[in-house]
Structure 1
């Protein structure tokens, strides 16, 4: 009958459209794992930085730069997806000029470090742990005066490690995501579970622990240690930023930089951003705060 043919045609069209949407979401998500591996170039004003190698618990070699501390305190810095250690040079300059030891390093599968692919903060937890171990073993550093700063996926790894490592004295999270699941699926929410599920497939097939990386929970375990969260007003997912800021309102410092997108905070706020960043670490890492 005619109505049956129409019904079958409509169902077939629906299947084709759904399949096309799912395939498109999968391709876009898969593309996140394929990015240029460009070695970072050390700028002239960072010539004093030492070239270093770190070794993770799962056997990877990571490359980095270390500026020795002049005040016995140090900060470990973890960059974002498809970046290198050089992308955090603005923050590193602010702190190195103030006397802090600074460790910049390429996360796994980035820059000059080993690794086949990023895991968006999951296995990068091992990278952050290796970086902290390196800095704490330095003769120029008081191991009780070590802090960590992370951007985007680097912030996820930093938050998770700091939540379990009470010796991380202070934490700065730049453009963090609330959970890894949301970070992977949020931009594909328009067509609901269909496209969001397809977008998660590249993560599942790489055995990435989507449910374990939850910054919005990790921050609770960082308290009462100093915590600063900075985001841009033009980043995607502003409702998620609202939720995170509300969650930490009672115990953390937060700053949403008007006009900033995903990073680039020193460009948007060239005077206030360095001032706030230095003031945060000066208060958190001054010598008397490290004394039991």
Structure 2
């Protein structure tokens, strides 16, 4: 019995469909999935680093108390409280040093120890990843700064706290978080923001891919950020927070070798656009890179710059600040 033969045109169509399916499976899908997966896994790695806990203040010759700060959403953050000089006016002020990225409660001790030796009270606490929470690259850290403010307001340990003299000192992602926290918490009198970013989407080129594959990678990164944080990366926008900061002070610190320095210059220009008399400045230690400000400028110069700002922001003692920055952009 003869089997009916398909017309040649139908056979050709089947072969073409088969070739299209093979082409899609072996060529098109990899072109999509590989860059998407690369972007997704890169963001996953960025959001899940190991905790870099750091040391303890006694390694810097500073007395301290271990504290526990109730965390938003449950749990707590381990921290340090270091008392300043009770005989000095600076001992009335408290500077909160938020953790940067995966930093633990001791990750910023080099700079914090200089501030406490200058006379200020210092509060530090561990980063989100060290407490088993999701890293956010700065946005959720603003809530954590709010938790530190609540802790100082409740003052369960009976520390010397004047809530009218609170400032922030943030580095990298904590610098960005400190800028955004200034906009959210009006009780913060001033902040130092070191080496942060002005807008993470813009910094990463989100929305302006160099080519199609780069665009697919960006979709992977955005998907991972939204999946693991529950937020959109568009919230990482210190630049957008600047209009809510003046007349309070924001001191930007970026090394001359930092790739994010142009973003800092834009932030300075924006602050002066919001308020031509804005209490702000951009200090650029020459030859400094990300996080090497003390090492490059020297401890004495770093301390001089910081005390000039904090004395003005917290006590209206502005002679040193004006002498340093009067007439400078």
TM, length-normalised to structure 2: 0.76
**Is 1:87 the equivalent of 2:107?**
yes
Structure 2 CA distance for aligned equivalents of residues 177 and 281 of structure 1: 22
Q: Does 1:197 align with 2:226?
A: no
Which residues of structure 2 form unaligned runs of 5+?
Answer: 1-11, 319-329
Contact 1:169–1:225 (CA under 8 A) maintained in structure 2 = yes
Q: 1:237 to 1:23 in 2, by over 3 A?
A: farther
- Which of 254, 263, 274 is the equivalent residue of 1:240? 263
Distance across 2 between alignment mates of 1:255 and 1:287: 20
Is the 8 Å Cα contact of residues 53 and 105 (structure 2) preserved in structure 1? no
* Equivalent of 2:188 in 165, 168, 172: 168
Aligned partner of 2:54 in structure 1 is 40
Distance 1:183 1:62 in 2: 30
* Number of residue pairs matched by the alignment: 282
Gaps of 5+ in 1: none
In our comparison, the structure showing a higher alpha carbon Rg is 2
Match of 2:6 in 1: none
- Alignment pair present for 1:55 and 2:55: no
Answering whether residue 48 of structure 2 is matched by residue 28 of structure 1, we say no
Q: Give the TM-score of the pair, scaled to structure 1.
A: 0.85
- Once the two structures are TM-superposed, the CA of residue 107 in structure 1 deviates from its matched residue by 2.1
Aligned residue number for residue 68 of structure 1: 83
Q: Residues 168 and 121 from structure 1, CA distance in 2 versus in 1: closer, same or farther, beyond 3 angstroms? A: same
Report the Cα distance in structure 1 between the residues aligned to 2:140 and 2:128, rounded to whole angstroms.
8
Return the offset for 1:127: 1.1
Residue in 1 that maps onto 2:7 = none
**Structure-2 change in CA distance of 1:140 and 1:82 (3 Å):** same
Give RMSD over aligned pairs: 2.8
Whether the 8 Å CA contact 2:199–2:236 is kept in 1: the answer is: yes
What is the CA distance between 1:260 and its match in structure 2? 2.2
